[in-house]
Structure 1
Amino acid sequence: MPTSSRLTRFGLALTAAGTLVVPALLASAVPASAGASEGPSTTVPVVAPEGRTMSYVVNVAKVNHGQMQKAERAVAAAGGTVVQRYEEIGVLVVQSTRSSFLPTLRAGAKGTIESAGPTRTVPVSEAPGAGVGRPVPPGHRKLATFEGMYTGSPSAPAAGLDPMEPDQWNNRLIKADKAHEITDGDRKVTVAIVDSGIEPNHPDLQENIVPALSVNCTMGGVPQPTGWEATTSSHGTHVAGTVAAARNGAGIVGVAPAVKLASVKVVNGDGMIYPEYALCGIMWTAKKQIPVANHSYFVDPFQFWCGDQPDQAPVLEAMRRAYAFADRRGVVSAAAAGNSAYDLAHKTTDEESPNDSTPVTRTVNTTCHDIPTELPGVVTVSAIDAESNLASFSNYGEGVIDVAAPGRRILSTYQGQRWANLSGTSMASPHVAGVLALLKGTHPDATPAQLVSLLKTQADDHACPAGDARCTGTADDNAFYGEGVVDALDAVRR
């Protein structure tokens, strides 16, 4: 199988003794992947070491205050400590140093706890002042492919254009340049860049960042008001520029250059996005009612989280609950499909997981999902090049891909107050987030479902290439392009 695709790449899940019945709620809430293996997925057993702090998610059976209190008492009795609680969705983030914690909790809290499982295979390392880690080089773990710093010397652009705007083929392809003749977007709209942080003093971004809406989630999944800035990775800064680099006479222009940005940091200093970070990120976005969110990553440590595995199903369910809550709070999410050239509609094997220890070759089946991109309601985005061909690295899949957007050699903002070209579905998804932001400005009262419907309806149909058997479906909805290439111009037409 080709190399894996998400922003981060490490992770396993701890397996402890004891059994867990996968809740029917999970099986019905997360659609199965048509065409995937129908046999059981491969179990990945991992033991929690005694005396080392490990992290878990706990899902209560009924979402109410009394049930949460019972669950917290059960956690304490089993030797765990609650570090973050989400009463709105009935989820706890828990840490414990006891190797017996998980089987003890499962055995002693039946009827109160629906499911509980580990979030990583390695001990928790973050502590106050930690989390900087090693620099994450461009392209590390396939978060994107670095294509070079911007070194051009653009001639004087036409009146009203920023210096590098003529080099942005991507904006012209989705007709963002034509949309800007009507509007640059609504300043009341904010987009959450759920990623590795944003460089706060970048000349193309600083005027659009809202510090009060920004957060750092990499300290065990507990939201912190400081530390949301980019540190070891330029990924989030690049994504942010594609969405909303300002029209200010410097550098480039984003798809929606007038909208605001919130830096929601979920990538730790080593490039990992554990479930507790991702939960913190989407729940922060939901509670702050930030209307649009971009997610250019997969949740570590599994490329695919399997609902038939007792140690993986709890994370899948917790994430499903969180995104459903975000939808109810008015948040519409776009997510990258991944860079493995993998057919997400026909999953068979995974050679990349777990990615925080030793990966194993495992069978995956219809219960296994790439999260967040395959969660209900999330817009799944494939990547195309300047000729509108599916990028060679892009994941695809009939019934999985919703829309397509540019993702090959995208010029955008980069750390060090610079600009660079990157490739990946991570670069395609923020184009869609930008179009959703334009749509939100045009239709301020629209629900997330209505915005997604408009996005798909307005997308420009693109038929499958002749002779490519991987691309199944019709001219207006297929495995490569979903319902088409997003259209920024239609988004601003009332």
Structure 2
Amino acid sequence: MTHAPRRAGRAAAAALALALAGATTATVLAGPAAADPITRTEPGDGVMSYVVNTDASRSAVAKVRVAVARAGGSTVVDYPEIGVVVARSADPGFRDAVLGGHFASLVDSVGPTRTAPVVEGVPGRLRGPGAHPQRTDLRGLGGRTAVDVAQVNVPDPGEAVQYDMAAIGADDANAVDPGSPDVVVGVLDDGIDDSHPDLAGRVDRSLSGDCTGGGRFDGSEGAYLPSPGAYHGTHVAGTIGAADNGQGIVGVAPGVTLAAVKVVSDEGYIFPESAICGFMHAASEGFEVTNNSYYVDPWEFWCDDEVNQAAAREAVERAVAYSQEQGVVSAAAAGNSSYDLAHKTTSSSSPNDSTPIPNRDVTGCVDMPTELPGVATVSSTTSAGTLSGFSNYGEGVIDVAAPGSAVVSTFPKSVSPSGYASISGTSMASPHVAGVLALLASTHPDASPAELTALLEQQATDTACPATSPATKPCTGSTQDNAYFGEGLVDALAAVTVG
């Protein structure tokens, strides 16, 4: 399954195109179609973001771009591979105009990606409602359920304080196989500070970039770096692949390659177009693994029977499915709302970009990307091996568990002078699983995403429900598969020793 030859082939083809045709042609070949030059749909002035879904073909997408323009909008980016067009318009009647236009028969669905106008790029509009400049967990933004977090500066902690690595056998696994540099793990997050001593040289900058500019990938120099005050992605990256260099900490898979893909805007949101861009970039560049410690804003639970959510949900699902078809396996955080994902009822957390709807019926709705097919859904455990109090759970939803409480990892020194901190969340659990998947991809280079996920679950350490569990948070299921831990605690050592 290793895609290094495919990456090398693309790079050679791009270089040849540049040599033969000049910079303009190379730019066209290197990415999705450019935005339509309709200045009235720049950020501000009530501009909304939309997705339009059509057939997965260049012909259909080209016609939908025309439909978008005729409806008074502009195309930001398109993905013919999955039949998705990301557009913007200031016209409140844009959706109806697309559905009633000349190419309406080609449109599967169209809808907004948020409930408030675009603010990315608008001067003075940083950090969304309720978002904190120094967020501790992306799963807890925008007034969502508070997370049990202890943000502590840890001076040169060393491996001795990494209970999490010992719990999953990562310390022993590193001595056997630290992972292959041919395996790329995409950290879809708020960027990685690769100036950190434990991350220096660990991030492939040529594969890194920013997806928050309306969902169009920006691979320019430094685009992948975190904004001032951001640290989430840097902490996640350390857990996955901090170097075994005799100082600081060591990640689950210190031998693999990291790629930083920013999907979190400076306002603190992960909108559908950014997530789509992240998964499509992972697919196009042949990543083996992605980590997703977030849920797609502005809805904690996306419902396909709600017209203002269905199109964006469909577009994200298509991107995730396409990435899997291209060989990418993904881990995602289950969430920090202490919620039973297997028995959803109501939610009052969304939308988080405007006014949340109290007691919204979310029966049958999904948390994206963690509940999408093929994604490894990860709950969080404590140092004692119990389910973290903040962690979501759900029989048949949770695939595996990993340590997520008080996890020590890398921090930008501009935020934590020591360069390390201990924080909690399912955001901290998911990268342990991404690291184990990277080890499995290293030892099973020809395995498909589904086969890697199956190995992950088969090798997990059986973890039974506690003897008693509160009625408000019941643990149901067997020792091998239950609501709290899924198939059990992930096992890094088994990933490099079991055939």
TM-score (norm. length: structure 2): 0.84
1:80 deviates by 1.0
Q: Confirm or deny: 8 A CA contact 1:306 1:364 kept in the other structure.
A: no
Match of 1:79? 72
Paired AA for residue 490 in structure 1 = A
Distance in structure 2 (CA, Å) of the matches to 1:445 and 1:50: 47
Correspondence 1:392-407 to 2 at 5 A: 392-407=389-404
From 347, 353, 356, the equivalent of 1:356 is: 353
From 459, 482, 489, the equivalent of 2:486 is: 482
Q: Percent identity?
A: 50
Map Cα deviations across residues 214-252 of structure 1 (whole Å, 9 max, x no partner): 010111111111321011310000000000000112210
Correspondence 1:306-321 to 2 at 5 A: 306-321=303-318
Distance in structure 1 (CA, Å) of the matches to 2:256 and 2:148: 27
Paired AA for residue 334 in structure 1 = A
Distance in structure 2 (CA, Å) of the matches to 1:138 and 1:321: 29
Q: Confirm or deny: 8 A CA contact 2:336 2:426 kept in the other structure.
A: yes
Correspondence 1:242-261 to 2 at 5 A: 242-261=239-258
Match of 1:341? 338
Match of 1:166? 160
Is 1:150 paired with 2:153? yes
1:130 deviates by 8.7
Local SS of the residue matching 1:278: helix
Paired AA for residue 65 in structure 1 = R
Match of 2:113? 119
Of 117-126 and 314-323, more deviation after overlay is shown by 117-126
Q: 1:289 to 1:473 in 2, by over 3 A?
A: same
Match of 1:190? 184
Match of 1:40? none
Distance in structure 1 (CA, Å) of the matches to 2:119 and 2:349: 22
Give the structure, 1 or 2, with the largest relative contact order (CA under 8 Å, sep 6 or more): 1
1:148 deviates by 2.8
1:127 deviates by 3.1
1:404 deviates by 0.3
Of 178-187 and 189-198, more deviation after overlay is shown by 178-187
Local SS of the residue matching 1:67: helix
Distance in structure 2 (CA, Å) of the matches to 1:58 and 1:152: 49
From 481, 490, 495, the equivalent of 1:491 is: 495
Distance in structure 1 (CA, Å) of the matches to 2:148 and 2:88: 35
Q: Confirm or deny: 8 A CA contact 2:53 2:84 kept in the other structure.
A: yes
Of 178-187 and 297-306, more deviation after overlay is shown by 178-187
From 380, 400, 410, the equivalent of 1:383 is: 380
Distance in structure 1 (CA, Å) of the matches to 2:84 and 2:299: 20
Map Cα deviations across residues 454-477 of structure 1 (whole Å, 9 max, x no partner): 000000111111121511111100
Match of 1:202? 196
1:188 deviates by 1.2
Paired AA for residue 82 in structure 1 = T
Local SS of the residue matching 2:118: coil
1:367 deviates by 3.1
Distance in structure 2 (CA, Å) of the matches to 1:89 and 1:152: 47
Distance in structure 1 (CA, Å) of the matches to 2:374 and 2:127: 34
Paired AA for residue 70 in structure 2 = A
From 217, 224, 227, the equivalent of 1:228 is: 224
Q: 1:418 to 1:185 in 2, by over 3 A?
A: same
Q: Confirm or deny: 8 A CA contact 1:308 1:367 kept in the other structure.
A: no
Is 1:444 paired with 2:445? yes
Q: Confirm or deny: 8 A CA contact 2:402 2:489 kept in the other structure.
A: yes
Aligned length: 436
Q: Confirm or deny: 8 A CA contact 1:150 1:411 kept in the other structure.
A: no
CA RMSD of aligned residues (A): 1.9
Map Cα deviations across residues 27-73 of structure 1 (whole Å, 9 max, x no partner): xxxxxxxxxxxxxxxxxxxxxx995211001101x222221122112
Q: Confirm or deny: 8 A CA contact 2:387 2:484 kept in the other structure.
A: yes
TM-score (norm. length: structure 1): 0.85
Local SS of the residue matching 1:55: strand
Distance in structure 2 (CA, Å) of the matches to 1:140 and 1:205: 20
Distance in structure 2 (CA, Å) of the matches to 1:485 and 1:269: 34
1:139 deviates by 2.8
Map Cα deviations across residues 375-405 of structure 1 (whole Å, 9 max, x no partner): 0000000000011100000000011000000
Is 1:219 paired with 2:213? yes
Q: Confirm or deny: 8 A CA contact 2:301 2:362 kept in the other structure.
A: no
Local SS of the residue matching 2:67: helix
1:132 deviates by 6.5
Match of 2:26? none
Distance in structure 2 (CA, Å) of the matches to 1:278 and 1:164: 34
Q: Confirm or deny: 8 A CA contact 1:51 1:99 kept in the other structure.
A: no
Paired AA for residue 103 in structure 1 = D
Match of 1:70? 63
Of 353-362 and 426-435, more deviation after overlay is shown by 353-362
1:76 deviates by 1.2
Q: Confirm or deny: 8 A CA contact 1:131 1:218 kept in the other structure.
A: no
From 91, 94, 107, the equivalent of 1:101 is: 94
Distance in structure 2 (CA, Å) of the matches to 1:193 and 1:145: 23
Q: Confirm or deny: 8 A CA contact 2:136 2:232 kept in the other structure.
A: no
Match of 1:30? none
Q: Confirm or deny: 8 A CA contact 1:138 1:145 kept in the other structure.
A: no
Local SS of the residue matching 2:308: coil
Local SS of the residue matching 1:368: coil
**Structure 1: unaligned runs, 5 residues or longer:** 1-48, 154-162
Match of 1:293? 290
Paired AA for residue 114 in structure 2 = R
Distance in structure 1 (CA, Å) of the matches to 2:290 and 2:112: 26
Q: Confirm or deny: 8 A CA contact 1:458 1:487 kept in the other structure.
A: yes
Distance in structure 1 (CA, Å) of the matches to 2:209 and 2:187: 10
Match of 1:25? none
**Structure 2: unaligned runs, 5 residues or longer:** 1-42, 142-146
Paired AA for residue 488 in structure 2 = G
